Chain A
Amino acid sequence: MAEPPAEQPGVPDINKRWVRVTGTHGDFVLFDFTIGDPDLTVELILPFPAFLEFCATNHAPATVEPAAQAAYERLHRRSWTIPLPQRRPGGASDRLL
């Protein structure tokens, strides 16, 4: 395999992806999906199992906004066999790295 190109300043790395859960709706998870750069963010919605599959496929670490935490955990308890994405680090930090 060829060497990956040296990272250019300011060019987003499309292999870096993040997910931030913003809410839930019934069995659906509402979340922001980011590729490479916070500017490149899109709001998405998926059923809970599809959401977990999506995070795994994209190797995207997930954080959960505090306001969505309780509802999100309820969804998770209902499908307890699937591992919960990483919680938001304690405190007010929303940094994903």
Chain B
Amino acid sequence: MSIADKSTAKPRKLGLKERYAHLTRGLGWETTYQPMSKVFPFTDYEGIKIHDWDKWQDPFRLTMDSYWKFQAEKERKLYAVIDSFAQNNGHLNITDARYVNAIKLFLTGVSPLEYSAHRGYAHVGRHFVGAGPRIACQMQAIDELRHAQTQIHTISHYNKFFDGLHDARHMHDHVWYLSVPKSFFEDACSAGPFEFLTAISFSFEYVLTSLLFVPFMSGAAYNGDMATVTFGFSAQSDEARHMTLGLEIIKFMLEQDEGNVPIVQRWIDKWFWRGYRLLTIVAMMMDYMLPKRVMSWAEAWEIYFEQGGGALFEDLSRYGIRMPKYHEVASKEKGRLSHEVWATFYNYTQATAFHTWIPEKDELDWLSAKYPETFDQLYRPRFEYWKEQSDQGKRFYNNVLPQLCVTCQIPMIFTEPDDPKTICFRSTLYKGERYHFCSDGCKDIFLYEPEKYIQSWLPVHQIYQGNCGGATVPEVLNWYHMSLGNDNMDYQGSPDETLWNEWTADRHKSAI
């Protein structure tokens, strides 16, 4: 048998790759009565040069038909499980009602990002010239919409019993600390299509997403929150496709033109730092908000970035791409990040849509064990002091609004990379105004595109300018749609705690 013999036989079937090529053939036509540059106005201005869109590899070659079939099957089972948990009072199986505060943070901080991602991918899916990236982005736009929906549906069960979950969309658009995730995504969505994919598909979905989802889902599962685990099913199984898009866009840009390399490097630097700052809330959740802990933030950073990311950047170095700028600063901060942030939220508990607390003694011990070089020396005494003050009826509240970093919008709470006792404070003058930054990473990002960041909607500035409902805490909380004493303040004495204690008391009674 040889190849020659077969050429006379019946015409062979098309391969999957060829069939997909035929299926998508003509989707990337050259326009005739309008110039291409007008139909695709965003493809050039970022400086990325593409010579051959057909070089785009789509390893999944998914058609809409099979996408619907596959997702419909998955979703049907998923909603059956969500219903079962609701009917079986799944919320009673969590370890402790304090856990729900992690869910509150997720619903107000992360789920709206899924929706933003939906919009972002739908937008860039329209603006790529090549059919390959257009289709990949359109599929992902639908995925992200599904993720937002399943998360809202899942968490809505907790909203029947606990405070702070009633108006996530409004809060995301108004509340001070939620401007951190909101502005992160708006920065990406208002960039060009290539930067958007580098930001979200590569830097976030590929490089950093494991740090968000795996520890979060593991925390949910270990703390008995099977409802949240169910939306993990939905999100994780789409992840392979999303991560592949992230790798493919990077390879594609790097191989298409040598001039793309420095542009891609700058985006990787920028979006690594932006994403890392965003993950601060995850650090806090892992170290402080889970009644039963999975791993420390420092451990997660080592496993998922230092080791996992190390292999990726070793491979990328073949293209002349190096590790993201300031990755070493992130590693230096891993022993302090979560403590600095939880302390800040404890300070401002009057304006958070979740409850805060001082960790119990065994929790402080866990932190001491996980952070032997920093916790006892720098943070434990402070928490113990606050506990003491609180026990004497002098619970500490910070009544001064914090200065924010113009880039990441996080209060200026981080410390010098080489000195954990000094606040890291950077600033620059631009057109006669002074702008402040939490880090060299955030300052660099501003300096490259100052005109973009001087437009930032900074919550503290807006409050002081009178744009947030008024000048007093109750007025601002009202504007946030937060109910004073219910949605905010310490867990101890909260309606959540009262309810939880009643349930557990009932359970003990019926157990006897």
Which listed residue (A26, A28, A42, A45) contacts B233, Cβ 8 A? A42
Which listed residue (B74, B224, B229, B295) contacts A28, Cβ 8 A? B295
B222 touches A46 (CB 8 A): yes
Set of chain A residues within 8 Å of B73, measured between Cβ atoms = 39
B76 touches A10 (CB 8 A): yes
Which listed residue (A11, A44, A57) contacts B214, Cβ 8 A? A44
Given A14-B226, A54-B222, A40–B78 Cβ distance below 8 Å? yes
Cα separation A12 to B230 with both chains bound (whole Å): 12
A37 at the interface (CB under 8 A from B): yes
Cα separation A40 to B233 with both chains bound (whole Å): 5
Set of chain A residues within 8 Å of B224, measured between Cβ atoms = 57
A69 at the interface (CB under 8 A from B): no
Set of chain A residues within 8 Å of B214, measured between Cβ atoms = 43-45
A14 touches B237 (CB 8 A): no
Set of chain A residues within 8 Å of B132, measured between Cβ atoms = none
Set of chain B residues within 8 Å of A42, measured between Cβ atoms = 217, 221, 229, 232-233, 236
B81 at the interface (CB under 8 A from A): yes
Interface of B is mostly: helix
Set of chain A residues within 8 Å of B221, measured between Cβ atoms = 33, 42, 44, 54
- CB of A79, distance to nearest CB on chain B (Å): 17
- CB of A94, distance to nearest CB on chain B (Å): 18
B426 at the interface (CB under 8 A from A): no
B295 touches A44 (CB 8 A): no
- CB of B77, distance to nearest CB on chain A (Å): 5
Indicate with 1 or 0, residue by residue over A33-58, a CB within 8 angstroms of chain B CB atoms: 10111011111111100100010010
A12 touches B229 (CB 8 A): no
Set of chain B residues within 8 Å of A74, measured between Cβ atoms = none
A25 at the interface (CB under 8 A from B): yes
- Interface band, chain A: 20 to 34
B232 touches A12 (CB 8 A): no
- Interface band, chain B: 20 to 34
Set of chain B residues within 8 Å of A35, measured between Cβ atoms = 81, 226, 229-230, 233
Indicate with 1 or 0, residue by residue over B163-182, a CB within 8 angstroms of chain A CB atoms: 00000000000000000000
Indicate with 1 or 0, residue by residue over B206-250, a CB within 8 angstroms of chain A CB atoms: 000000001101100110101001101100110000000000000
B292 at the interface (CB under 8 A from A): yes
Which listed residue (B80, B222, B295) contacts A12, Cβ 8 A? B80
User: Which residues B407-453 have CB closer than 8 A to chain A?
Assistant: none
Set of chain A residues within 8 Å of B226, measured between Cβ atoms = 14, 35
B37 at the interface (CB under 8 A from A): no
Cα separation A17 to B88 with both chains bound (whole Å): 16
- CB of B51, distance to nearest CB on chain A (Å): 38
Q: Which residue on chain A has the smallest CB distance to residue B303?
A: A25
A45 touches B215 (CB 8 A): yes
Cα separation A24 to B214 with both chains bound (whole Å): 14
Cα separation A14 to B222 with both chains bound (whole Å): 16
Most buried by B among A10, A28, A41, A45: A45
Cα separation A37 to B214 with both chains bound (whole Å): 20
A45 touches B295 (CB 8 A): yes
Most buried by B among A26, A35, A41, A50: A35
Q: Which residue on chain B has the smallest CB distance to residue A38?
A: B77
Chain B contacts to A: CB under 8 angstroms = 73-74, 76-78, 80-81, 84-85, 88, 214-215, 217-218, 221-222, 224, 226, 229-230, 232-233, 236-237, 292, 294-295, 303
Chain A contacts to B: CB under 8 angstroms = 10-12, 14, 25-26, 28, 33, 35-37, 39-47, 50, 54, 57
**Inter-chain pairs besides A39-B237, A42-B217, 14 sampled, C-beta below 8 Å:** A10-B76, A11-B77, A11-B80, A12-B77, A14-B81, A14-B85, A35-B81, A35-B226, A37-B77, A40-B78, A44-B218, A45-B295, A46-B294, A54-B221
Closest 10 CB pairs of A and B: A42-B232, A44-B218, A14-B84, A40-B233, A11-B80, A45-B218, A37-B77, A39-B74, A12-B77, A39-B77
22 A-B pairs, CB-CB below 8 angstroms?
A10-B77, A11-B80, A14-B85, A25-B303, A26-B303, A28-B295, A33-B221, A35-B230, A35-B233, A41-B233, A41-B237, A42-B217, A42-B229, A42-B232, A42-B233, A42-B236, A43-B217, A45-B214, A45-B218, A46-B218, A47-B294, A54-B221
